[in-house]
Structure 1
């Protein structure tokens, strides 16, 4: 039979390997030769237009101008099986966008996504977020409550318009029972057994949480509000430039400081006369720059300072009323009592009933004893902190800081 004749001569395996190696070495040599020369602009080369009749060289250059030598080197490293990225190019999970204005801990976030403040606005579970609120309350009022005072709180809450966010701090653990009141469904309820107003304030009223509110009311549960209107109160506070204030107290009900007693025929007062020897300076507490802690109202800026002054372990707040003046300047002009909107302190001993009998003492006795101890502890901490500061600054402390 005839033998088929094939064109060409079959290459031996050794010749095929030699051809492959020659081609591979040529590619590698060309690669390194290319990255060894400066970048050449194709659009600036005087190439004949007929050579590339349908190719826009400028487009090619723009499209691939981002391929730097470093990127090519990185690609070559990957080809070699080097899994460790070049130190000159950060890995994705090591990217850090650091901006001095970012809050602490948010340095890895772009500033535009940082939401450093919050609020107590209740949100829906449906619809668009921008449509959740028909009105954004400008003021915040909190009451520390037990269910036994429900009638009193019901009357008080109704004195505050829809411009106020209402927050109830429940020290007796009873929250759902308040749903008998229609307003309760629009109220924020926070519950922790046997805690005080200042314990709640330190943990739930951080300045960045209450930042949207112009004024923050921190009130007790035993306040009669028959002669009080919240909107009128705000107007008077703004008119007289008060950063820290309280309504006047009925002088015929309960024991109170002379400074906080209501005066007839005036809108606001900012100083008083106390018993002889009680005031070392007419601009200092308890003759001026002073309100009590039962029904205090703070501006946003004043609260930011006072919150930092509240000690985490001192829960009764005794002594704060003498020290809050440090948060506004001049204190004797920006702290005052609103006489035209006044309240009655009913003196309900709710905190005493939350105590525990020990060593033959009634529950209220242990609570009152701790109140007095905390007052002394707070004064000592403030005095020592100022001494340490002035010593570090090599300054003599002013007389006005000593008490």
Structure 2
């Protein structure tokens, strides 16, 4: 082998050696560069770099059934929050707390007052001395002036542990000042509105958060055999999250066997109905069911129910069949208190606030709307269920509940 052959064979080896040297040098420079760049930023915890929970949920579950577009939509909605949080890593003096309530991210957590109450306060003195007693429960009545004597008797059945809130559908409030308790009560007046219209707008869960139980009652209930404190004791004893007093068999308009009082027990949670009325013995109206005339909600149950109330369906018809969605298991946590019972007197009141036309009475138009709202609510709940199950790729018809 002559010199030229040896030179040609040695050239590739030297080229590979040079390439390796350059690669190692590049890696070394990159490591050093990365080190100096990292050192130039403030220290941070890896826990701060995390996906916002909705995105994290979508991406971590490969079998969730969510489409790519759904994930992109979530990212689009939350990208501003991510960018703001990232910028605050550069400038710690700017407050940004993603776990704060929406809109309050710029406030330090210790100053955020995310809940309120209905406790009237003085205009003078120390705030800490404003309240001599903090009511633990709330009772509301939607009333008209004609029912003053009756409501006066009903309110006397509720102890000082209750905040009294009157919703006035006839616009008359000062007329109630003849009652001493009325001067301490809260009055809200909007003409010709229903109790569920009021509840959706004035009983937000964050506003009434201090109350353990919320009574949302009609104005035509006889309470001769009812004691509010004893009722609360029974509700707690039997673990009822949603309840109502039993209805005396003499009550007008008694429709459901579930709400009819039984004289041989404190509470009942299920019943037998007419053939074909119950597709499942654990579902309404055989269980998990109370009517909307005199419901009582725990704080946690109300937080769910408030979201179930539809803004435009003001009469609440059909809501009683949807309540079972808000507690689990509903057939154990929804029930009727038999030992404390009421009488539904069926006094026509708000129905007469309708508008008579074409020879029809005002109440007829109100009743028609009630019935149409019931169908609309039922359809909305059904469609919402279908959309949800479709979004996760689940077919409930092929599933047997345990």
Sort the TM-score into its range (normalised by shorter chain): 0.7 to 0.9
Which residue number in structure 1 is paired with residue 393 of structure 2? 394
Which residue number in structure 1 is paired with residue 330 of structure 2? 331
Which residue number in structure 2 is paired with residue 281 of structure 1? 280
Distance 2:188 2:319 in 1: 23
Query: How many Å apart are 1:96 and its aligned residue?
Result: 4.0
Distance 1:386 1:174 in 2: 42
Distance 1:155 1:360 in 2: 37
Partner residue of 1:111 out of 106, 109, 131: 109
- 2:133 counterpart of 1:138: no
Q: SS of 1:190's equivalent?
A: strand
Which residue number in structure 2 is paired with residue 125 of structure 1? 123
Aligned partners of 2:88 and 2:95 also within 8 Å: no
Q: For 1:180-236, what per-residue CA distance to the aligned partner results, in whole angstroms no more than 9, with x for missing partners?
A: 000011100000000000000000000000100000000000001110000000000
Which one has the largest radius of gyration? Answer: 1
Query: How many Å apart are 1:292 and its aligned residue?
Result: 0.1
- 2:173 counterpart of 1:150: no
Query: How many Å apart are 1:400 and its aligned residue?
Result: 9.7
Which residue number in structure 1 is paired with residue 271 of structure 2? 272
Which residue number in structure 1 is paired with residue 7 of structure 2? none
Which residue number in structure 2 is paired with residue 17 of structure 1? none
Distance 1:95 1:147 in 2: 57
Looking at secondary structure, tell me which structure has more helix per residue: 2
Which residue number in structure 1 is paired with residue 232 of structure 2? 234
Q: For 1:369-403, what per-residue CA distance to the aligned partner results, in whole angstroms no more than 9, with x for missing partners?
A: 000000000011111111111111110125899xx
Which residue number in structure 2 is paired with residue 209 of structure 1? 207
Any gaps of 5 or more consecutive residues in structure 2?
Answer: 1-86
Q: How does 1:354-393 map to 2 (within 5 A)?
A: 354-393=353-392
Which residue number in structure 2 is paired with residue 100 of structure 1? 98
Distance 1:375 1:233 in 2: 30
Which residue number in structure 2 is paired with residue 316 of structure 1? 315
Any gaps of 5 or more consecutive residues in structure 1?
Answer: 1-87
Q: SS of 1:375's equivalent?
A: helix
Aligned partners of 1:96 and 1:107 also within 8 Å: no
Distance 1:400 1:197 in 2: 38
Change (3 A) 1:394 1:225: same
Distance 2:222 2:299 in 1: 25
Distance 2:88 2:245 in 1: 62
Change (3 A) 1:400 1:209: farther
Q: How many aligned positions are there?
A: 312
Aligned partners of 1:96 and 1:109 also within 8 Å: no
